[in-house]
Amino acid sequence: MATDRRTDAELLAQVAAGDQPAFEELHRRYARSVLGIALRRIGDRGRAEDATQDTFTSIWRSASRFDPARGEATSWLYTVARNAIVDGLRRRREPPVDEAPDMAAPGPGPDESAEHGWVSWRVHRALEELPEQERSLVELAYWSGLSQSEIATYLSIPLGTVKTRTRSALRRLAEELGDDLR
């Protein structure tokens, strides 16, 4: 679990002053979120990883432009990440696979895509704040295809403990998601 209680805004202010440990902490909090949206937008794993590196370089360079009076740090970081990913694609002269089309196209529209990207960003960021045993339990419960009983067997813990920890993890995620919670 994260023990560093500095806010994202405080970390950005320290990054702006050249504080590399603060930069490393921001990376720990957001690397999976950034890689997640890069993968969604680009598709190719190698290029998405390059785009993630580009994003953090961009955060390092532009942290001083973050103004907490104008919005939350996570929104600012989301915008920086999306712009860095798109800029990287343009530099490579290859269009992003889900770039907004010039004409209406079937499937999810840009508005839905934007909303979905934001939900993924917030959820993946919130998962980083869970204790390791709760985070892995949530990931097993939601994305492994295993039932609770199968997870209990897999982790060699009682079924009741699996449910208690899962409930605790979801409560903690609710706190982390705050106003974004539906």
Partner 1 sequence: MSESREHPDLQDLVGNDLEPSEREQLEGVHAMLLEAGPPPELPPSLAHAPTPPSARVIPMPRRFRYPAIAVAAIAAIAIFWAGYLVAGGPDPRPVETLAMSGTGGATAELALFAKDDAGNWPMELNVSGLPAGSYELWLTRGGELAASCGFFAIAGDEVTVPLNAPYRLTEFDGWVVVPKGGDERVLTT
Instruction: Report how many residues bind partner 1 under the rule CB under 8 A.
Output: 76
Q: Are the C-beta atoms of 141 and 151 separated by less than 8 Å?
A: yes
Q: State the greatest distance between any 2 C-alpha atoms of the chain, in Å, as a whole number.
A: 54
In angstroms, give the least distance from the CB of 98 to partner 1: 10
Does an H or E element contain 160, and which?
helix 159-177
Q: Is 136 in the site for partner 1 (CB under 8 A)?
A: no
**C-beta separation of 80 from 114 below 8 A:** no
Site for partner 1 in 79-108 (CB under 8 A): 79-80, 82-83, 100-104
- Tell me which of 12, 13, 127, 130 binds partner 1, using CB under 8 A: 127
Residue 88's contacts (CB-CB under 8 Å, 6 or more residues apart) are 50, 51, 54
* Closest of 91, 108, 112, 97 to residue 43, by C-alpha: 97
Residue closer to partner 1 by CB (options 3, 141) is 141
Q: Is 22 helix (H, G, I), strand (E, B) or coil?
A: helix
Interface pick for partner 1 out of 17, 90, 115, 133 (rule CB under 8 A)? 115
Task: Select from 27, 96, 136, 155 the one that contacts partner 1 (CB under 8 A).
Answer: 27
Q: Which of these segments, 6-14, 56-64, 88-96, binds partner 1 (CB under 8 A)?
A: 56-64
Stretches 2-10, 26-34, 89-97: which one binds partner 1 (CB under 8 A)? Answer: 26-34
Structure tokens at 47: 């290029």
